[in-house]
A and B are shown apart, each in its own frame.
Chain A
Amino acid sequence: MNVLLRTFVPRRFRFETQLALRHLLSGGGQTVLTVSAVAAGVIIVIFITSLIFGLQDRLTELLTDAIPHVTITVEEPEPRPLARITDGSELSSSRIEQQAPQLKFIDNWPHVVETVRALPNVRAVAPVVSGQAFVSKGANPIGTAVVGADPDLQNVITPVTKDLISGKYLGLRSDEIVIDAELAEDLDVTTGERIRVTSGTNASDSFTVAGIYSRGQGRGSAYVTLRTGQSLFGYGTSVNVVYVKLINIYEADSVADRIMALLPYEAKSWTREFPQFLSSLQVQTASAYLISAFSLIASGFAIAAVLIVSVLQKSKQIGILKSMGTRRRQILRVFILEGLGVAIVGSLLGLVVGVTIVLLLSLFDQPVTRIGQTPEQLFPVRILPFYLGLAMIAAIISTVVAAVLPARRAAKMNPVDVMR
């Protein structure tokens, strides 16, 4: 111990460091209590942040996994009042009518794909024809969304293969279709059977069900090849939408902005399409920080209380030290160093215990509720090194702050008063 002290502590602080260490080592229950209070604070912070940020990651992943991160479409023409397009000589009143749906062609989509693919952070670009259609087998047509796209590209945008419960998606032929399990149930079809698809433009064709998938999120789209989609919806060689998948989903806004700057099309990021989702994430983040702050404040108060008792118990010792020439700031340092010692040991202990708890929690799995589902974690915890570090630093700061008051009290003690 003394060797360590001589090696690491500058000479002028050795007395204070040594006394603080001895206080802690001989403190028994009090030291255990304060160290536990710090550890408890750190454990709560680690637990809360791992759970909430883990949950957020999971939710974001679930949401963004199956959707394009940026969607490129033709800009909706702004409705203009009549007064603006006439010369104003005639009195005119105008009412903006709801626009009728129109076919919006992206004719030069190869150029769009090429331009977007050259941008950084882009994982995949898929030109797509998407539209509404009726699907039927015999009687009762059922409405569904149809996505016509190259399976290899579309599978990156929305991982269909992963969710397949039978059949295939990759290698889809022009007369084949992949449908959602719910739709398959409603139509009472299985893979290999044929169904009829009729589009809004009244083009109709029959398809073999090549695959059935289940995503567990309500009814999903039906998938056909790009060529099939184009002829089904009458797009010729055009598409109506280009989907973009990114590497970093949180940069969707800036990628969308760049696309808008480069191309004469509308580009929407997923964050703009789900603003309420993002705001709920922010509320969760704020509550995680609040709970963390309160738990650290609570442990700070506990530490301050124990340290004040320990200062009072040591008042005679403080008196004799002062009579021997110990200066105020030396006494102050002793008790702040004690707080620092408690903080370091406590936060390390909290780190070990907190991470262990989180790791144990991550072992629990949810019961499987749908067919073909791989079991998922009950607690989607994430151990985030940044928040581990933050928890430790915050705990150390709050503990040292809590130690200041008792330390000042000790430093102010008058030897004549305390040694009577």
Chain B
Amino acid sequence: MTSASFITSDEETRMNKGLPPVVVETRSLRKTYFGKIDVPVLFGVDFRIRKEEFVAIVGQSGSGKSTLLNLLGALDTPTGGTVIINGVDISTLDEDELAYFRSDQVGFIFQFHYLLDEFSCLENALLPITIRHGDASEEDQARVIELLRRVGLGSRIHHRPEEMSGGENQRCAIVRALANAPKIVLADEPTGNLDSRSGQEVFRLMREMNRESGVAFVMITHDDRLAQAADRILLIEDGLVHEISKEEHRKRVASLVP
């Protein structure tokens, strides 16, 4: 676990020449859900994720994994502390700026693909661009079609989500998350709704995209084998985030098996 620091990501990056730049940093990040009963979820979370990294977030159900991911993606606002993405403290942004920021810097992949039924595979994958610019340029289209080919959807670009399998839809969702060339992709159990073969295929593609483009991936997963295949593993427990080694993770998994 990285301790809180008061120097900015940029300065740090310059100091640590040789290491890829930090794309996400949290400082004493706290989140409490207020209601009839206030539910504290995160108690002060500090960590950094660098470009090119593929990070798995593990933890029990209800431990706050999705909450953390929503905070990283600027979908939710923290109760305390800050999230810095690519050098920008996102708590300083208003709603429109956050929307702009998300379309520029962040890609999301959810457990359900959430593709729009009314649009074809290609149109869905182009959405981050069309939302931002009104429509997609020829180059954007060519780039996204190439990405779709890469994930094996070359023959499906004009199909609607209902005409494709769950795995195909999720692969389309991966391309959509990458369409705007974001700095970071946040994936909330991207394989959770797929059979194991499709799940592995989706994971393999994510890993491939991560290696090729250098975009950082943060993936919540319950699949221990997928966690093992990540670069780093962050464990959320009791409202705090601990970085654990793969060895430690293996032991924890093994201890659960009777």
Q: A321 to B119: give the CA distance in the assembly, Å.
A: 13
Contact flags B128-154 to A (C-beta < 8 A → 1, else 0): 101111110000000000000000000
A419-B96 in contact given A15-B131, A22-B119, A324-B103 (Cβ < 8 Å): no
Contact flags A181-221 to B (C-beta < 8 A → 1, else 0): 00000000000000000000000000000000000000000
How many residue pairs bridge A and B at CB < 8 Å? Answer: 75
> Which residue of the partner chain, among A19, A26, A323, contacts B73 with CB atoms under 8 Å?
A323
Contact partners of A327 in chain B: CB under 8 A: 95-96, 99-100
A26-B117 in contact given A324-B127, A325-B104, A325-B128 (Cβ < 8 Å): yes
Name the distance in Å between A311's Cβ and chain B's nearest Cβ: 15
A325-B99 in contact given A14-B130, A15-B135, A416-B76 (Cβ < 8 Å): yes
Q: A62 to B218: give the CA distance in the assembly, Å.
A: 84
Contact call A325/B95, Cβ cutoff below 8 A: no
Name the distance in Å between B24's Cβ and chain A's nearest Cβ: 16
Name the distance in Å between A309's Cβ and chain B's nearest Cβ: 17
Contact call B102/A325, Cβ cutoff below 8 A: yes
Contact flags A315-335 to B (C-beta < 8 A → 1, else 0): 011011111111110100000
Contact call A324/B131, Cβ cutoff below 8 A: yes
Contact call B75/A416, Cβ cutoff below 8 A: yes
Contact partners of A60 in chain B: CB under 8 A: none
Closest to B131 in A: A326
Contact partners of B54 in chain A: CB under 8 A: none
Contact flags A111-143 to B (C-beta < 8 A → 1, else 0): 000000000000000000000000000000000
> Which residue of the partner chain, among B110, B132, B133, contacts A419 with CB atoms under 8 Å?
B110
Contact partners of B116 in chain A: CB under 8 A: 19, 22, 317, 320-321
Closest to A17 in B: B134
Contact partners of B118 in chain A: CB under 8 A: 19, 22-23, 25-26
Closest to A11 in B: B134
Contact partners of B114 in chain A: CB under 8 A: 316-317, 319-320, 419
Q: Cβ of A167 < 8 Å from any Cβ of B?
A: no
Q: How many residues of A are counted as interface, with CB atoms below 8 angstroms from the partner's CB atoms?
A: 30
Q: Cβ of A12 < 8 Å from any Cβ of B?
A: yes
Contact partners of A317 in chain B: CB under 8 A: 114, 116
Q: How many residues of B are counted as interface, with CB atoms below 8 angstroms from the partner's CB atoms?
A: 28
Q: Cβ of B63 < 8 Å from any Cβ of A?
A: no
Q: Cβ of A284 < 8 Å from any Cβ of B?
A: no
Contact call B134/A15, Cβ cutoff below 8 A: yes
Name the distance in Å between A25's Cβ and chain B's nearest Cβ: 7
Contact call A416/B131, Cβ cutoff below 8 A: no
Contact call A323/B135, Cβ cutoff below 8 A: no
Name the distance in Å between A328's Cβ and chain B's nearest Cβ: 7
Q: A327 to B96: give the CA distance in the assembly, Å.
A: 6
Contact partners of A13 in chain B: CB under 8 A: 134
Closest to B110 in A: A419
Contact call B131/A328, Cβ cutoff below 8 A: no
Q: Cβ of B70 < 8 Å from any Cβ of A?
A: yes
A residues 4-46 touching B (CB-CB < 8 Å): 5-6, 10-15, 18-19, 22-23, 25-26
Q: Cβ of B217 < 8 Å from any Cβ of A?
A: no
Contact partners of A6 in chain B: CB under 8 A: 135
Contact call B130/A323, Cβ cutoff below 8 A: no
Q: Cβ of A415 < 8 Å from any Cβ of B?
A: yes
Name the distance in Å between B162's Cβ and chain A's nearest Cβ: 10
Q: Cβ of B108 < 8 Å from any Cβ of A?
A: yes
Name the distance in Å between B60's Cβ and chain A's nearest Cβ: 17
> Which residue of the partner chain, among B70, B103, B132, contacts A416 with CB atoms under 8 Å?
B70
Contact call B95/A321, Cβ cutoff below 8 A: no
Q: A415 to B131: give the CA distance in the assembly, Å.
A: 16
> Which residue of the partner chain, among B96, B108, B133, contacts A324 with CB atoms under 8 Å?
B108
B residues 97-130 touching A (CB-CB < 8 Å): 99-104, 108, 110, 114, 116-119, 127-128, 130
Closest to B176 in A: A324
Name the distance in Å between B173's Cβ and chain A's nearest Cβ: 9
Closest to A326 in B: B131
Q: A161 to B79: give the CA distance in the assembly, Å.
A: 93
Contact flags B70-93 to A (C-beta < 8 A → 1, else 0): 100101100000000000000000
Contact call B131/A330, Cβ cutoff below 8 A: yes
Contact call A323/B75, Cβ cutoff below 8 A: yes
Contact partners of B117 in chain A: CB under 8 A: 26
> Which residue of the partner chain, among B99, B101, B104, contacts A322 with CB atoms under 8 Å?
B99
Closest to A18 in B: B130
Name the distance in Å between B113's Cβ and chain A's nearest Cβ: 9
Closest to A24 in B: B118
With A22-B119, A320-B110, A320-B114 given, can you name 5 additional A-B contacts, CB distance below 8 Å?
A: A10-B134, A15-B134, A323-B75, A327-B100, A328-B99
Q: 10 A-B pairs, CB-CB below 8 angstroms?
A: A5-B135, A26-B118, A317-B114, A323-B73, A324-B102, A324-B103, A325-B99, A325-B101, A325-B103, A326-B131
- For the complex of A and B, the 7 pairs showing the least CB-CB separation, nearest first, are A325-B103, A22-B118, A11-B134, A320-B114, A14-B134, A325-B102, A327-B99
Interface residues of B (CB under 8 A from A): 70, 73, 75-76, 95-96, 99-104, 108, 110, 114, 116-119, 127-128, 130-135, 176
